């Protein structure tokens, strides 16, 4: 598609609509196909790569297999029907200034035949191949050059879409840059000088029209800084906003329920649990609201750390709420906390301790009578510890005095969900966020930068080892048979096992029966069961696999089924039966991924393991080996060796170190998905910032942002930086904490 650009008079700024400088037709094309509406949108649509004029190749010097860029004129263009398949093939013969000729072939050539006509001079880029003993370029990238146009030292190649080519975008960019007044630079001059960064106007021009490699490297460095500082400013403002209202101080109370609990512990806390516990205790003793993230590998003992924090708050006469992502996990937590507390958690009962509190479960599926009683316990303060799901954040749930909110598996909740509880009452409850997904340092500084971070890096004593093996069922069917035998061996040894499937099943149509919480790693949406699998069979489903196992390789064993679509009472009954040892093998979706703790479980088979994210597989694996006996995890896949999917599985089989896997996971997957969780707006403003490559920049930006916001909490003295922060988080309700800025 060729865009005719309107003649424009006068200067424009970053907020100018594109129809002014470009004309209605070009502006509509950019808006419709690339969601670009203003001059600022367009100039921040950066090139994805550059063609170096100094590396242009003479046609006569081409060699097969090399990637080349040539400037040549179309000498002949022939469009014909393809013999072997439907469609038209365009064959173009090009000739450079030194007389060298080369053939270029374009499939579906009708799409470009109106552009590549005889006499057109263009830049062609592609890999040299051979056809019928002649060198050629197959479907090369190209950019037409205006007659007499000088070839710039670097030609910018843009992310393009159907019917909107790179050269159309480049022409539009050049047009607006010719008219654009240099924008006000939001970056303070002292930071620019200290970090040796060019001014914003120069950076925006040089990222599009560099004169040298140094030009575009300097421009990119400056624009990376803008993104990093924008992120950190938004998070710094959020940290300040979270502490505007005071919290209720709950210092440790001698002789209280926490002391009694510690005295009855049947095991010794790890050094890490003690250290993190001390940090949390100090936070709870202050009137400044705690906002702390505790990350720890699977089985690192986060629950005991959270319970001790909740008991400290209960000792202060206040309540603690534990927010879990699923009803299964909420019920599991309630049972686990009650079990750990024993008589200390049975206030009002005959065997309750004198200083006891009460653990109350509140979920959306409770019966009317049970829900009414739970609500009464919460509102009256009789329940010192309240465990629930999203039901806890409903407006009609009132607390007597909420002193602490514990959020389990932070990545399952949005910021606005955990803030709904934190915003209750005149005082802000302390906030403790837990995750069993180890987080690389740059992610912690960027995605969780509004929270102080503590890490549990050692496992409690007595945890059993877990062996993990990839089972390539497509290549070695006998291995799958052996996998079922291993499950029977574990059961024969008095243990229990899990079989995990990516889908629920029971409905018709591709991808049916999928559950939001059961399908994919929420940090890894491109590894999903309902993705475009290039014709692969549908993912295996619980409701289809379970009967096949019962009639086949696991016949005679007691099988149970668990998935997120079961009624809450059925899910609870199934988990209770499994915990009681009444079920040998639980066939489930990833509803068991976090928090499920059955020490007698030693074996797990994950079917279609390549359809899950790496960190999710690590979480699932953590459900076995939680007792005295070692665990075994078998990852079944049809994917062949050498694929990225197999690389993931081989990686998780090679180590049980979640922190090491987290780093590898970031390398293997799209980090943009991680950065995207910062933003609520429709279009991402983070285009250049890399969590892998820009750790130093992120660290420095965090220091600068913290200092700036400490002296100017509302960024009123830095309007440019205020705009930068808003661009990062978007303008909708999820950015409410910037409402005062």
DSSP 517-575: TTSS-TT-TTS-TTS--TTPPPPPBHHHHHHHHHHTTTTTS-EEEE-TTS-HHHHHHHH
Torsions phi, psi for 273 (to 5 deg): -65, -40
Averaged pLDDT of the chain: 83
Which residues are paired to 93 by β-bridges?
A: 76, 103
User: How far apart are alpha carbons 431 and 417 in whole angstroms?
Assistant: 12
Q: Say which residue, 163 or 406, is predicted with more confidence.
A: 406
Q: Which domains does the chain have, with CATH numbers?
A: 1-48+158-181 (no CATH), 52-155 (2.40.50.140), 191-242+712-741 (no CATH), 257-456 (3.40.50.300), 466-672 (3.40.50.300)
Question: Is residue 138 classed as helix, strand or coil in its secondary structure?
Answer: strand
Q: Where does the pLDDT of residue 739 fall: very low under 50, low under 70, confident under 90, or very high at 90 and above?
A: very low
Check if the beta carbon of residue 439 is closer than 8 Å to that of residue 295. yes
Q: Is the predicted pLDDT of residue 329 greater than 70, yes or no?
A: yes
What does the pLDDT read at residue 535?
55
Question: Is residue 717 classed as helix, strand or coil in its secondary structure?
Answer: coil
Residue with the two structure tokens 């929420």: 522
Q: Is the predicted pLDDT of residue 618 greater than 90, yes or no?
A: no
Q: Is the predicted pLDDT of residue 316 greater than 50, yes or no?
A: yes
What does the pLDDT read at residue 432?
92
Please give the full DSSP string across 248-268, using - where no structure is assigned.
PP----TTSHHHHHHHT-SSP
Q: Terminus-to-terminus CA distance in the chain, angstroms?
A: 43
Question: Is residue 229 classed as helix, strand or coil in its secondary structure?
Answer: helix
Check if the beta carbon of residue 347 is closer than 8 Å to that of residue 382. yes
Residue with the two structure tokens 């806890």: 392
Q: Say which residue, 146 or 636, is predicted with more confidence.
A: 636
Q: Where does the pLDDT of residue 733 fall: very low under 50, low under 70, confident under 90, or very high at 90 and above?
A: very low
User: How far apart are alpha carbons 202 and 332 in whole angstroms?
Assistant: 58
Lowest average pLDDT, out of 296-300, 386-390, 401-405, goes to 296-300
What does the pLDDT read at residue 604?
96
- How many residues in total does the chain contain? 741
Q: Where does the pLDDT of residue 526 fall: very low under 50, low under 70, confident under 90, or very high at 90 and above?
A: very low
CA atoms 156, 157, 161, 162: torsion sign:
positive
Query: What radius of gyration do the chain's Cα atoms show?
Result: 30
The percent of residues in the chain predicted with pLDDT above 70, rounded, is: 84
Please give the average per-residue pLDDT across 725-739, as a whole number: 55
The percent of residues in the chain predicted with pLDDT above 90, rounded, is: 41
Q: What is the dihedral of CA 332, 336, 337, 340, to 10 degrees?
A: 180
Residue with the two structure tokens 């740059």: 442
E strand spans, 346-416: 359-362, 385-388, 402-408
SS3 content of the chain, % helix, strand, coil (to 5): 40, 20, 40
How, if at all, do strands 121-131 and 141-145 pair?
antiparallel
Please give the average per-residue pLDDT across 157-185, as a whole number: 85
User: How far apart are alpha carbons 290 and 431 in whole angstroms?
Assistant: 6
Check if the beta carbon of residue 603 is closer than 8 Å to that of residue 487. yes
Please give the average per-residue pLDDT across 659-677, as a whole number: 62
User: How far apart are alpha carbons 358 and 337 in whole angstroms?
Assistant: 10
Q: Is the predicted pLDDT of residue 741 greater than 50, yes or no?
A: no
Alpha-carbon 468 to chain mean position: 25
Lowest average pLDDT, out of 34-43, 99-108, 322-331, goes to 322-331
Please give the average per-residue pLDDT across 320-324, as a whole number: 91
Residue with the two structure tokens 């290039």: 534
Q: Where does the pLDDT of residue 80 fall: very low under 50, low under 70, confident under 90, or very high at 90 and above?
A: confident
Residue with the two structure tokens 């002649």: 134
Question: Is residue 586 classed as helix, strand or coil in its secondary structure?
Answer: strand
Q: Is the predicted pLDDT of residue 724 greater than 90, yes or no?
A: no
User: What residues have CB less than 8 Å from 436, skipping those under 6 apart?
Assistant: 295, 296, 297, 298, 300, 302, 409, 594, 619, 622, 658
Question: Is residue 1 classed as helix, strand or coil in its secondary structure?
Answer: coil
């Amino acid at each position: 598609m060729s865009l005719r650009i309107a003649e424009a008079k006068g200067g424009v700024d970053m907020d100018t609509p594109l129809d002014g400088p470009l004309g209605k037709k070009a502006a509509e094309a950019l808006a419709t196909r690339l969601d670009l509406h203003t001059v600022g949108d367009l100039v921040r649509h950066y090139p994805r790569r550059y063609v170096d004029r100094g590396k242009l190749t003479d046609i006569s010097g081409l060699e097969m297999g090399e990637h080349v860029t040539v400037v040549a004129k179309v000498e002949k263009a022939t469009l014909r029907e393809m013999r072997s398949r439907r469609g038209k093939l365009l064959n173009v013969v090009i000739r450079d200034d030194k007389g060298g000729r080369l053939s270029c072939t374009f499939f579906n050539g009708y799409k470009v035949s109106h552009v590549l006509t005889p006499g057109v001079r263009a830049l062609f880029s592609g890999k040299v191949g051979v056809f019928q003993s002649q060198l050629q370029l197959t479907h090369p990238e190209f950019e037409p050059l205006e007659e007499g146009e000088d070839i710039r030292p670097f030609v910018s190649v843009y992310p393009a879409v159907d019917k909107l080519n790179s050269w159309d975008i480049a022409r539009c960019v050049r047009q607006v840059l010719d008219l654009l007044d240099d924008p006000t630079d939001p970056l303070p001059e002292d930071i620019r000088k200290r970090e040796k960064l060019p001014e914003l106007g120069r950076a925006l021009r040089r990222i599009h029209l560099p004169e040298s490699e140094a030009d575009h490297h300097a421009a990119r460095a400056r624009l990376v800084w803008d993104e990093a500082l924008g992120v950190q400013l938004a998070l710094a403002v959020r940290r300040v906003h979270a502490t505007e209202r005071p919290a209720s101080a709950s210092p440790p109370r001698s002789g209280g329920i926490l002391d009694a609990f510690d005295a009855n512990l049947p095991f010794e806390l790890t050094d890490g649990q003690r250290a993190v516990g001390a940090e949390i205790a100090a936070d709870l003793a202050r009137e400044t609201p705690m906002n702390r993230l505790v990350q720890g590998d699977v089985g690192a003992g986060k629950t005991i750390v959270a319970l001790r924090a909740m008991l400290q708050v209960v000792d202060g006469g206040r309540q603690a709420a534990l927010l879990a992502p699923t009803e299964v996990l909420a019920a599991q937590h309630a049972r686990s906390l009650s079990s750990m507390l024993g008589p200390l958690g049975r206030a009002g009962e005959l065997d309750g301790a004198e200083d006891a509190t009460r653990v109350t479960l509140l979920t959306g599926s409770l019966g009317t009578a049970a829900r009414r009683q739970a609500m009464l316990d919460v509102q009256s303060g009789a329940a010192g510890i309240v465990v629930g799901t999203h039901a806890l954040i409903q407006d009609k749930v009132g607390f007597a005095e909420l002193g602490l909110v514990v959020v389990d598996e932070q990545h399952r909740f949005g910021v606005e969900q955990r803030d709904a509880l934190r915003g209750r009452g005149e005082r802000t409850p302390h906030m403790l966020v837990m995750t069993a997904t180890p987080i690389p340092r740059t992610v912690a500084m960027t995605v969780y930068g509004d929270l102080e971070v503590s890490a549990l890096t050692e496992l409690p004593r007595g945890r059993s080892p877990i062996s993990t093996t990839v089972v390539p069922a497509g290549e070695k069917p006998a291995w799958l048979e052996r996998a079922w035998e291993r499950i029977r061996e574990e059961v024969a040894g008095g243990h229990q096992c899990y079989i995990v499937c990516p889908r629920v099943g029971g409905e018709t149509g591709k991808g049916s029966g999928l559950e939001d919480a059961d399908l994919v790693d929420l940090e890894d949406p491109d590894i999903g069961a309902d993705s475009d699998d290039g014709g692969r069979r549908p993912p295996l489903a619980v409701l289809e696999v379970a009967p096949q196992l019962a009639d086949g390789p696991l016949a005679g064993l007691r099988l149970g089924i668990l998935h997120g679509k079961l009624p809450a009472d059925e899910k609870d009954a199934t988990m209770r039966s499994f915990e009681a040892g009444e079920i040998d093998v639980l066939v489930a979706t990833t509803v068991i991924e976090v928090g499920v703790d059955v020490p007698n479980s030693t074996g797990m088979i994950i079917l279609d393991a390549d359809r899950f994210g790496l960190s999710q597989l690590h979480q699932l694996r953590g459900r076995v080996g939680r007792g005295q006996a070692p665990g075994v995890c078998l990852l079944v896949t049809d994917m062949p060796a050498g694929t990225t999917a197999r690389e993931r599985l081989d990686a998780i089989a090679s180590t049980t170190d979640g922190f090491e896997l987290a780093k590898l996971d970031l390398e293997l997957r799209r980090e943009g998905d991680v950065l995207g969780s910062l933003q609520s707006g429709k279009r991402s403003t983070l285009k250049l910032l890399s969590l892998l490559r820009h750790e130093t920049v992120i660290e420095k930006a965090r220091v600068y942002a913290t200092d700036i916001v400490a002296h100017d909490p509302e960024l009123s003295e830095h309007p440019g930086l205020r705009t930068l922060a808003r661009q990062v988080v978007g303008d909708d309700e999820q950015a409410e904490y910037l409402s005062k800025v």
